[in-house]
Amino acid sequence: MARRITIHQTISSIRKASNALSEKSVGFVPTMGALHDGHLSLVREARAKNDVVIASLFVNPTQFGLNEDLDKYPRQFERDAELLEQFGVDHLFAPPTNEVMYGAKHITYVDPQGFDEIPEGIKRPGFFRGVATIVTKLFNIVNPTRAYFGQKDAAQCCLIKRIVEDLNMDIEVCVLETVREDDGLAMSSRNAYLSAEERAASPIVYQSLCAAQEKFADRKSDLTSTELKDAVVAKLNSEPLVSEIQYVSIDDTETMRPIDIVGDTGAVVSLACIVGSVR
């Protein structure tokens, strides 16, 4: 018989369910909804490794800046809940309003030092504070054994690992490989914004990352970060629909701090660009 999912709309309800699971391992998959195979790969892994699986579905307003896409972010609750049930999620925490998570008197935020100084933080001031706050709140509410995230959001994964270590949380952070379309485009809820022409051009992002990977694989000695950046930029510039390269960053794999020399331990290559009209 298929598992039946229990949907919780209040903190007290999901906390009561979680507290009753003290003798069981709990896998937690936090999401903002508009689920795709990337999310579902996390659910699959959580289902395989834990007694109970809890997911959350909440479009977190504090990680969106002015003039970003909070209002148009895709929301499809019924479809998402059905998918999560099909993939074996036991409990879904889905606050119906922002007030459930951020009450009228809410003033406390988790503000990770240094993340506003990395390229994504510079482009999106306050984004990492919003992520850190909602993840900390969800971890405190659900109290999972393990939490699952996708490698696509490398800086967020680095941040969440730091939160768990710095705030002494007894949670294992599990980071899974990025799930991609057949042409290499990373699966993302925001891919829905792409027009047909933009969608056809968007694999250039993955191809640019592969150019850096090939440069690293072919090295005879340590590389400079500039050499890797140049490989990425050259590939991006080969696509006419790439109208702006906001940044290309070569960072330490554990701290997400910029590095000048890339040795055998490698680096995280991240970028942001505009394809057509979509970031």
Q: Can 39 be counted among the known catalytic residues?
A: yes
Distance (Å, whole) CA 134 – CA 129: 9
Cα distance between residue 262 and residue 250, in whole Å: 8
Identity of the amino acid at 1: M
* Largest interatomic CA distance in the chain: 58
Pair 201, 275: CB distance under 8 Å: yes
Q: At what angle do helices 11-19 and 127-142 cross, to 10 degrees?
A: 50
Tell me which residue of 37, 16, 20, 41 sits closest to 29, measured CA to CA: 41
Is 19 in contact with 157 (CB distance < 8 Å)?
no
Q: Which residues contact 104 (CB under 8 A, 6 or more apart)?
A: none
C-alpha to C-alpha distance for 263 and 279, rounded to whole angstroms: 30
Instruction: Catalytic residue, from 8, 39, 91, 106: name it.
Output: 39
| 254: Cα separation from own chain's centroid | 16
* ∠ Cα 221 225 228 (to 5°): 80
Question: Which are the catalytic amino acids?
Answer: 39
